[in-house]
Amino acid sequence: MRLWTQDEFVSRRQGEWTALSDILTSGKPLHKLPAADISRFSALYRSACADLVHARDVGFTPDLVAYLDSLAGRAHNLLYAAPPYRIAAAWDLVAREFPRALRRNGRFFALGMTLFFAPMVLCLVATLFFPEFAYQVLSREQLQGMADMYSEAHTGRDESTDAGMAGFYVHNNVGIAFRCFATGILLGFGSLFFLIYNGVVMGTVLGHVIAAGHGKNILTFVCTHGTFELTAIAIAGGAGLQMGYALVDTGGRTRLGSLRAAGRDLAIIILGAAIMLFIAAGLEAFWSPSAAPPPAKWALAGVFTILLTLYFALAGRSTTTARTGLRAGSQGIVATPTQPGGRP
C-alpha cells in the first residue's frame, strides 16, 4: 500500500480540519449546538487525533504536527470542559434537589439531628441543675470567658468589624460542619463522635452562661442564626453517617461502588448545608449583634424556624420531571462529563 506524501495527506484531510476549526472558532458552547453538529464534532475530533498520530509516525514536518496537535488539543478542551454554571441549576439545587435529597435519606437526617441536639439539651439541663458539671467538660477559664462575652447585651458594631467577623464565622462554622461530615469516612464513627462532642460542648456553654445570669443575652444573640447554623451542622453530620453506612452496607457492590452510588445525594446535601452555613454567617455577623430589639430577633427566629421546617417537608414535592438542565447541572458537580457538552 503506497503511503501518501505530506501534500497528498493535507489535500485529503484539509476539509475536515477546516470544519473542526470552524466549530472551535464559532464561540458557541458545545452543549448549545444541534445534536447532529455535536455528533459530527465528535467524529471530527477523533479523526484529527488519528491524523495527528499518523503525522507523527511517518515523520511529517514539525509545522504540520504542531498544527494538528493544537487543533486536537483545542477540540479536547471544548469536548471535556466542565459544564457551564447555570443560575437555573443553582436555583433547582436549592428549591428542589436539596430538600428532596434530605427526605430520601431521612433516617440519616433524623439521626444526625438526634445525635447533635439530644446531647446539647441534656448537657444544658445538667449544667443548670448541677453547675459543677460544666467544669467536667470545659476548663474554668474557657467557661468564664464565655460568660464574660455575654455579660452585656449586644448593641451593634461598626461595619468593618461586622465584615471581618463574617469571614471568621464562615471559617469556623464550615470547619465544624466539615469535620462532622468528612470524618464519616471512618465508617461513620468520626461523624458520630463530632456530632456528640459538639452537642455536649454547645449545651454546656449555653447552660453555664444561663446559670451565670446572662441567658437573655446569649439566647437573643444565637436565636436567629442558630436556626440555620445548628441545623446545618446536624445535616452535615448525618451526611457523614450516611457515607460511613455506605462503606459498611455496600448492597453487594464494592465499597468504592457503594460510595459512588451515594455520592450524588451526599454532594447535594453538603452543598445545601454549606449554603445554610453561609446564611448563618451573614446573620451572625450583621444581624445577631445588631441593636435591633430582642423581640424583633426572636420574631425573625420564629419565622425562619417555621419556613425552614416547611421547606424541608414540602419543597420539591412535584410530579413534574426534573428538567434536563438541572440533572446536567447537579451531576456536573459530582461527576466528570463523559459525553459532549458535559451531559452525563
Mean pLDDT computed over 229-239: 96
- Host H or E run for residue 78: helix 62-79
Q: Which has more pLDDT, 122 or 42?
A: 122
Average the pLDDT over each of 21-35, 163-177, 220-234 and give the range with the smallest value.
163-177
118 and 216 within one domain: yes
Mean pLDDT computed over 260-284: 93
320 and 266 within one domain: yes
24 and 67 within one domain: yes
Residue 254 gets which letter from DSSP? -
Question: How many domains are there within the chain?
Answer: 2
Among 59, 79, 99, give the residue marking a domain's end: 79
Instruction: Tell me if 26 is assigned to some domain.
Output: yes
- 169 has a pLDDT exceeding 90: no
C-alpha cell at 1: 500500500
Task: Tell me the pLDDT of the chain averaged across its residues.
Answer: 86
Residue pair 224/154 in contact by the 8 Å Cβ criterion: no
Torsion of CA 185, 91, 99, 104, to 10 degrees: -70
Instruction: Tell me if 182 is assigned to some domain.
Output: yes
| Buried b / exposed e along 280-304 (16+ C-beta atoms within 10 A) | bbbbbbbbbbbebeeeebeebbeeb
Sign (positive or negative) of CA dihedral 186, 187, 189, 192: positive
Helix (H, G, I), strand (E, B) or coil at 233: helix
Task: Kindly indicate the confidence band of residue 83, based on its pLDDT and cuts at 50, 70 and 90.
Answer: low
254 and 173 within one domain: yes
Q: Which has more pLDDT, 175 or 158?
A: 175
Range of the domain at 48: 6-79
136 and 19 within one domain: no
Instruction: Tell me if 339 is assigned to some domain.
Output: no
Instruction: Tell me if 1 is assigned to some domain.
Output: no
Average the pLDDT over each of 49-58, 115-124, 157-166, 262-271 and give the range with the smallest value.
157-166
175 and 297 within one domain: yes
164 and 105 within one domain: yes
294 and 218 within one domain: yes
